[in-house]
Structure 1
Amino acid sequence: MTAQVHVPSLLARAGTASVLTLAAVGGTVLAPGGATEAQAATPSTKALKVAASKKGSPYRWGATGPNRFDCSGLTLYSFKKAGKKLPRTAQQQYNKTKHVSSSKRKRGDLVFFHSGRSVYHVGIYAGKGKIWHSPRTGSVVRLEKIWTKSVYYGRVR
Protein backbone atom coordinates (compact mmCIF):
# COMPACT_ATOMS: atom_id res chain seq x y z
CA MET A 1 0.00 0.00 0.00
CA THR A 2 1.28 3.47 -0.85
CA ALA A 3 1.61 5.92 2.02
CA GLN A 4 0.85 9.51 1.08
CA VAL A 5 1.47 12.64 3.10
CA HIS A 6 -1.04 15.49 3.08
CA VAL A 7 0.65 18.51 1.44
CA PRO A 8 -0.40 21.31 3.88
CA SER A 9 0.83 19.39 6.94
CA LEU A 10 4.04 18.59 5.11
CA LEU A 11 4.51 22.23 4.16
CA ALA A 12 4.21 23.25 7.79
CA ARG A 13 7.22 21.05 8.61
CA ALA A 14 9.29 21.38 5.43
CA GLY A 15 12.01 23.86 4.56
CA THR A 16 12.07 26.00 1.40
CA ALA A 17 14.09 23.47 -0.66
CA SER A 18 11.71 20.65 0.30
CA VAL A 19 8.68 22.73 -0.63
CA LEU A 20 10.17 23.51 -4.05
CA THR A 21 11.01 19.84 -4.61
CA LEU A 22 7.50 18.84 -3.58
CA ALA A 23 5.99 21.38 -5.97
CA ALA A 24 8.20 20.15 -8.82
CA VAL A 25 7.05 16.54 -8.46
CA GLY A 26 3.36 17.33 -8.30
CA GLY A 27 2.55 17.42 -4.61
CA THR A 28 2.42 13.70 -3.79
CA VAL A 29 5.04 12.26 -1.48
CA LEU A 30 5.46 8.52 -1.20
CA ALA A 31 6.86 6.81 1.87
CA PRO A 32 10.46 5.58 1.47
CA GLY A 33 10.57 2.03 0.14
CA GLY A 34 6.92 2.10 -0.89
CA ALA A 35 5.75 1.25 -4.39
CA THR A 36 4.79 4.05 -6.70
CA GLU A 37 1.09 4.33 -7.49
CA ALA A 38 1.71 3.06 -11.03
CA GLN A 39 3.57 -0.04 -9.81
CA ALA A 40 0.92 -0.84 -7.23
CA ALA A 41 -1.82 -0.77 -9.88
CA THR A 42 -0.31 -3.04 -12.56
CA PRO A 43 -2.05 -6.28 -13.51
CA SER A 44 1.26 -8.13 -13.06
CA THR A 45 1.57 -6.93 -9.46
CA LYS A 46 -2.05 -7.89 -8.79
CA ALA A 47 -1.48 -11.34 -10.34
CA LEU A 48 1.59 -11.83 -8.16
CA LYS A 49 -0.47 -11.07 -5.04
CA VAL A 50 -3.21 -13.46 -6.16
CA ALA A 51 -0.67 -16.25 -6.68
CA ALA A 52 0.86 -15.60 -3.25
CA SER A 53 -2.61 -15.74 -1.68
CA LYS A 54 -2.92 -19.32 -2.99
CA LYS A 55 0.08 -20.51 -0.95
CA GLY A 56 -0.48 -24.09 0.20
CA SER A 57 -3.12 -24.92 -2.44
CA PRO A 58 -2.51 -28.46 -3.74
CA TYR A 59 -1.20 -29.25 -7.22
CA ARG A 60 -3.58 -31.01 -9.54
CA TRP A 61 -2.84 -31.66 -13.19
CA GLY A 62 -5.23 -29.69 -15.40
CA ALA A 63 -6.65 -27.61 -12.51
CA THR A 64 -7.21 -23.86 -12.89
CA GLY A 65 -8.41 -22.99 -9.38
CA PRO A 66 -9.76 -21.65 -7.24
CA ASN A 67 -8.48 -24.28 -4.77
CA ARG A 68 -6.19 -26.56 -6.85
CA PHE A 69 -3.77 -25.66 -9.64
CA ASP A 70 -1.26 -26.97 -12.09
CA CYS A 71 1.53 -24.55 -13.05
CA SER A 72 -0.17 -22.78 -15.95
CA GLY A 73 -3.52 -23.02 -14.17
CA LEU A 74 -2.08 -20.86 -11.37
CA THR A 75 -0.77 -18.22 -13.78
CA LEU A 76 -4.02 -18.27 -15.79
CA TYR A 77 -6.11 -17.88 -12.62
CA SER A 78 -3.88 -15.16 -11.14
CA PHE A 79 -3.86 -13.00 -14.26
CA LYS A 80 -7.59 -13.53 -14.85
CA LYS A 81 -8.24 -12.13 -11.34
CA ALA A 82 -6.00 -9.20 -12.32
CA GLY A 83 -8.04 -8.54 -15.47
CA LYS A 84 -5.78 -10.18 -18.07
CA LYS A 85 -6.53 -13.18 -20.25
CA LEU A 86 -3.91 -15.88 -20.83
CA PRO A 87 -4.08 -19.08 -22.87
CA ARG A 88 -4.18 -22.42 -21.02
CA THR A 89 -0.74 -24.06 -21.32
CA ALA A 90 2.76 -22.88 -20.36
CA GLN A 91 3.90 -23.03 -24.01
CA GLN A 92 0.86 -21.05 -25.21
CA GLN A 93 1.42 -18.49 -22.44
CA TYR A 94 5.06 -18.10 -23.48
CA ASN A 95 3.98 -17.57 -27.09
CA LYS A 96 1.52 -14.85 -26.00
CA THR A 97 3.88 -12.78 -23.78
CA LYS A 98 6.38 -10.08 -24.62
CA HIS A 99 9.75 -11.77 -24.15
CA VAL A 100 12.19 -9.92 -21.88
CA SER A 101 15.79 -10.58 -20.86
CA SER A 102 16.70 -11.63 -17.34
CA SER A 103 18.26 -8.19 -16.81
CA LYS A 104 14.90 -6.53 -17.64
CA ARG A 105 12.68 -8.90 -15.66
CA LYS A 106 10.25 -7.40 -13.16
CA ARG A 107 8.12 -8.71 -10.35
CA GLY A 108 4.97 -10.17 -11.88
CA ASP A 109 6.65 -11.33 -15.11
CA LEU A 110 6.16 -14.96 -16.04
CA VAL A 111 9.13 -17.32 -15.75
CA PHE A 112 9.15 -20.14 -18.29
CA PHE A 113 11.26 -23.24 -17.77
CA HIS A 114 12.38 -24.89 -20.98
CA SER A 115 14.32 -27.73 -22.51
CA GLY A 116 15.58 -26.53 -25.87
CA ARG A 117 12.66 -24.64 -27.42
CA SER A 118 10.02 -26.57 -25.51
CA VAL A 119 8.47 -24.81 -22.48
CA TYR A 120 7.38 -27.26 -19.77
CA HIS A 121 6.74 -25.14 -16.64
CA VAL A 122 5.72 -21.60 -15.66
CA GLY A 123 5.66 -19.47 -12.52
CA ILE A 124 5.31 -15.79 -11.57
CA TYR A 125 8.49 -13.86 -10.76
CA ALA A 126 8.42 -12.60 -7.17
CA GLY A 127 11.78 -10.80 -7.15
CA LYS A 128 15.14 -11.79 -5.66
CA GLY A 129 15.42 -14.86 -7.89
CA LYS A 130 12.19 -16.47 -6.62
CA ILE A 131 8.88 -17.52 -8.16
CA TRP A 132 5.39 -18.42 -7.01
CA HIS A 133 4.40 -21.65 -8.70
CA SER A 134 2.55 -24.93 -8.45
CA PRO A 135 5.38 -27.41 -9.03
CA ARG A 136 4.12 -31.00 -9.37
CA THR A 137 1.88 -33.80 -8.13
CA GLY A 138 2.14 -34.16 -4.36
CA SER A 139 3.23 -30.54 -3.90
CA VAL A 140 1.51 -27.22 -3.18
CA VAL A 141 1.65 -23.63 -4.43
CA ARG A 142 4.78 -22.12 -2.95
CA LEU A 143 7.52 -19.51 -3.20
CA GLU A 144 10.75 -21.07 -4.39
CA LYS A 145 14.17 -20.06 -5.66
CA ILE A 146 14.64 -20.45 -9.41
CA TRP A 147 16.76 -23.61 -9.63
CA THR A 148 18.10 -23.39 -13.20
CA LYS A 149 19.37 -20.88 -15.74
CA SER A 150 17.22 -22.54 -18.45
CA VAL A 151 14.41 -20.01 -18.14
CA TYR A 152 12.78 -17.42 -20.34
CA TYR A 153 10.91 -14.37 -19.06
CA GLY A 154 7.67 -13.05 -20.48
CA ARG A 155 5.63 -9.97 -19.70
CA VAL A 156 1.85 -10.13 -19.93
CA ARG A 157 0.48 -7.25 -22.01
Structure 2
Amino acid sequence: MKNGFFIKKTILQILVLLSVVGCSSSSVNDTVTKKPLTPIPKQTAAQPLPVNNGMFDGVYHNWKGTPYRYGGSSKKGIDCSAFVQVGYSSVYQKMLPRTTLELVKKGKQVKRHTAKEGDLVFFRTGRNSRHVGIYLGNSEFLHASQSKGVIISRLDNPYWKRHFWQIRRLDKY
Protein backbone atom coordinates (compact mmCIF):
# COMPACT_ATOMS: atom_id res chain seq x y z
CA MET A 1 0.00 0.00 0.00
CA LYS A 2 2.81 2.40 0.89
CA ASN A 3 4.64 1.63 -2.39
CA GLY A 4 1.51 2.39 -4.45
CA PHE A 5 1.16 5.80 -2.80
CA PHE A 6 4.85 6.54 -3.41
CA ILE A 7 4.58 5.63 -7.11
CA LYS A 8 1.46 7.77 -7.61
CA LYS A 9 3.11 10.69 -5.82
CA THR A 10 6.27 10.35 -7.95
CA ILE A 11 4.28 10.22 -11.20
CA LEU A 12 2.33 13.31 -10.13
CA GLN A 13 5.57 15.16 -9.36
CA ILE A 14 7.01 14.23 -12.76
CA LEU A 15 3.88 15.43 -14.54
CA VAL A 16 3.95 18.74 -12.68
CA LEU A 17 7.64 19.19 -13.51
CA LEU A 18 7.08 18.44 -17.20
CA SER A 19 4.25 20.96 -17.38
CA VAL A 20 6.48 23.83 -16.27
CA VAL A 21 9.60 23.10 -18.34
CA GLY A 22 10.26 25.43 -21.26
CA CYS A 23 8.84 28.72 -22.36
CA SER A 24 5.88 26.98 -23.97
CA SER A 25 6.11 23.36 -23.03
CA SER A 26 2.88 23.01 -21.12
CA SER A 27 0.85 20.02 -22.21
CA VAL A 28 -2.24 22.21 -21.99
CA ASN A 29 -0.80 24.52 -24.64
CA ASP A 30 -0.05 21.59 -26.92
CA THR A 31 -3.62 20.33 -27.00
CA VAL A 32 -5.80 23.38 -26.50
CA THR A 33 -5.31 25.76 -29.40
CA LYS A 34 -8.59 27.37 -30.36
CA LYS A 35 -7.31 29.17 -33.46
CA PRO A 36 -4.73 27.76 -35.86
CA LEU A 37 -1.60 29.83 -36.34
CA THR A 38 -1.88 32.10 -39.34
CA PRO A 39 1.27 32.20 -41.45
CA ILE A 40 2.40 35.57 -42.73
CA PRO A 41 2.52 35.87 -46.52
CA LYS A 42 5.97 35.97 -48.10
CA GLN A 43 7.35 39.41 -48.79
CA THR A 44 6.69 40.86 -52.22
CA ALA A 45 8.55 43.50 -54.21
CA ALA A 46 5.83 46.07 -53.43
CA GLN A 47 6.61 45.93 -49.71
CA PRO A 48 9.26 48.23 -48.20
CA LEU A 49 12.81 46.90 -48.11
CA PRO A 50 13.56 44.97 -44.92
CA VAL A 51 16.13 46.07 -42.38
CA ASN A 52 18.83 43.55 -43.35
CA ASN A 53 17.33 42.04 -46.53
CA GLY A 54 16.90 38.68 -44.79
CA MET A 55 14.24 36.04 -45.22
CA PHE A 56 12.68 36.75 -41.83
CA ASP A 57 12.35 40.52 -42.21
CA GLY A 58 8.69 40.28 -43.22
CA VAL A 59 8.02 38.15 -40.15
CA TYR A 60 9.74 40.72 -37.96
CA HIS A 61 7.90 43.70 -39.44
CA ASN A 62 4.54 41.95 -39.12
CA TRP A 63 5.07 40.81 -35.51
CA LYS A 64 7.36 43.55 -34.11
CA GLY A 65 6.25 44.57 -30.63
CA THR A 66 3.61 41.85 -30.28
CA PRO A 67 3.53 41.18 -26.53
CA TYR A 68 4.78 37.95 -25.03
CA ARG A 69 2.09 35.68 -23.62
CA TYR A 70 2.89 32.23 -22.30
CA GLY A 71 0.90 29.77 -24.41
CA GLY A 72 -0.15 32.55 -26.79
CA SER A 73 -0.16 32.18 -30.55
CA SER A 74 -1.77 35.36 -31.87
CA LYS A 75 -1.11 39.09 -32.29
CA LYS A 76 -2.68 39.59 -28.85
CA GLY A 77 0.24 37.68 -27.37
CA ILE A 78 2.66 34.98 -28.44
CA ASP A 79 5.30 32.88 -26.74
CA CYS A 80 8.73 32.05 -28.11
CA SER A 81 8.02 28.62 -29.58
CA ALA A 82 4.75 29.70 -31.21
CA PHE A 83 6.60 32.64 -32.75
CA VAL A 84 9.27 30.30 -34.15
CA GLN A 85 6.48 28.07 -35.47
CA VAL A 86 4.79 31.02 -37.22
CA GLY A 87 8.09 32.31 -38.60
CA TYR A 88 9.07 28.98 -40.09
CA SER A 89 5.62 28.43 -41.50
CA SER A 90 5.74 31.85 -43.16
CA VAL A 91 9.23 31.61 -44.63
CA TYR A 92 9.63 27.91 -45.36
CA GLN A 93 6.00 26.71 -45.42
CA LYS A 94 7.10 24.09 -42.89
CA MET A 95 5.21 23.29 -39.70
CA LEU A 96 7.39 22.86 -36.62
CA PRO A 97 6.57 21.36 -33.22
CA ARG A 98 4.82 23.70 -30.78
CA THR A 99 7.12 23.50 -27.77
CA THR A 100 10.72 24.43 -27.09
CA LEU A 101 11.46 20.97 -25.73
CA GLU A 102 10.21 19.37 -28.94
CA LEU A 103 12.07 21.90 -31.12
CA VAL A 104 15.43 21.24 -29.46
CA LYS A 105 15.20 17.61 -30.57
CA LYS A 106 14.98 18.57 -34.26
CA GLY A 107 17.80 19.04 -36.75
CA LYS A 108 21.45 18.99 -35.86
CA GLN A 109 23.51 21.11 -33.51
CA VAL A 110 25.90 23.57 -35.15
CA LYS A 111 28.67 25.73 -33.75
CA ARG A 112 27.96 29.39 -33.18
CA HIS A 113 30.51 30.57 -35.77
CA THR A 114 28.83 28.41 -38.45
CA ALA A 115 25.26 29.57 -37.69
CA LYS A 116 23.16 30.68 -40.66
CA GLU A 117 19.94 32.62 -41.03
CA GLY A 118 17.02 30.37 -40.06
CA ASP A 119 18.91 28.27 -37.52
CA LEU A 120 17.20 28.00 -34.15
CA VAL A 121 18.94 29.52 -31.13
CA PHE A 122 18.21 27.99 -27.72
CA PHE A 123 18.77 29.37 -24.24
CA ARG A 124 18.47 27.99 -20.72
CA THR A 125 16.88 30.92 -18.94
CA GLY A 126 16.21 29.23 -15.62
CA ARG A 127 16.41 25.93 -13.83
CA ASN A 128 13.42 24.53 -15.71
CA SER A 129 12.85 27.11 -18.42
CA ARG A 130 14.06 27.33 -21.99
CA HIS A 131 13.79 29.95 -24.71
CA VAL A 132 14.07 29.76 -28.50
CA GLY A 133 14.57 32.26 -31.31
CA ILE A 134 15.49 32.38 -34.99
CA TYR A 135 19.06 33.27 -35.94
CA LEU A 136 19.29 36.13 -38.46
CA GLY A 137 23.04 36.37 -38.96
CA ASN A 138 25.59 38.86 -37.64
CA SER A 139 25.01 37.56 -34.05
CA GLU A 140 21.36 38.67 -34.13
CA PHE A 141 18.26 36.61 -33.50
CA LEU A 142 14.52 37.20 -33.69
CA HIS A 143 12.33 36.09 -30.79
CA ALA A 144 9.37 36.76 -28.55
CA SER A 145 10.93 38.38 -25.48
CA GLN A 146 9.07 38.19 -22.19
CA SER A 147 9.89 41.81 -21.41
CA LYS A 148 9.68 43.52 -24.83
CA GLY A 149 7.58 41.25 -27.02
CA VAL A 150 8.79 40.34 -30.51
CA ILE A 151 12.21 41.92 -31.01
CA ILE A 152 15.66 41.36 -32.47
CA SER A 153 18.40 40.75 -29.89
CA ARG A 154 22.11 40.06 -30.02
CA LEU A 155 23.82 36.87 -28.90
CA ASP A 156 26.61 38.96 -27.38
CA ASN A 157 24.15 40.77 -25.11
CA PRO A 158 25.32 39.86 -21.56
CA TYR A 159 21.98 38.25 -20.64
CA TRP A 160 21.73 36.07 -23.76
CA LYS A 161 25.44 35.26 -23.72
CA ARG A 162 25.11 33.99 -20.14
CA HIS A 163 22.08 31.83 -20.95
CA PHE A 164 23.14 30.57 -24.40
CA TRP A 165 22.62 26.82 -24.82
CA GLN A 166 22.90 25.76 -28.47
CA ILE A 167 22.10 26.44 -32.10
CA ARG A 168 20.31 23.85 -34.25
CA ARG A 169 19.96 23.67 -38.02
CA LEU A 170 16.74 22.21 -39.39
CA ASP A 171 16.11 20.82 -42.84
CA LYS A 172 14.23 23.74 -44.38
CA TYR A 173 13.28 22.24 -47.70
> Separation in 2 of the partners of 1:101 and 1:107?
13
Deviation sequence 1:72-110 (CA, Å, 0-9, x none): 110011111221111011121110122211121001211
> Separation in 1 of the partners of 2:107 and 2:101?
10
- Partner of residue 97, structure 1: 107
Aligned equivalent of 2:161, options 128, 135, 148: 148
Counterpart residue type for residue 148 of structure 1: K
Q: Is the 1:110–1:122 contact (alpha carbons within 8 Å) kept by the matching residues of 2?
A: yes
Runs of 4+ in 1 over 3 A off after TM superposition: 115-119
Counterpart residue type for residue 145 of structure 2: P
Q: TM-score, normalised by structure 2?
A: 0.57
> Sequence identity of aligned pairs in percent?
32
| Structure 2: gaps (5+ residues) | 1-42, 44-52
- Partner of residue 31, structure 2: none
Counterpart residue type for residue 57 of structure 2: K
SS of the aligned residue for 1:141 comes to: strand
> Separation in 2 of the partners of 1:119 and 1:153?
17
Return closer, same or farther for 1:115/1:56 CA change in 2, 3 Å cut-off.
Answer: closer
> Separation in 1 of the partners of 2:94 and 2:127?
25
- Partner of residue 69, structure 1: 78
- Give the CA deviation at 1:119: 6.6
| Structure 1: gaps (5+ residues) | 2-39
- Partner of residue 4, structure 2: none
Counterpart residue type for residue 115 of structure 2: R
> Separation in 2 of the partners of 1:116 and 1:57?
23
Higher Rg of the two aligned structures: 1
Q: How many matched pairs?
A: 114
Could you say what the CA RMSD is over the residues aligned between the two structures, in angstroms?
Answer: 2.8
> Separation in 2 of the partners of 1:139 and 1:114?
18
Q: TM-score, normalised by structure 1?
A: 0.62
Deviation sequence 1:39-79 (CA, Å, 0-9, x none): x9xxxx64x23431211111111112345210111001111
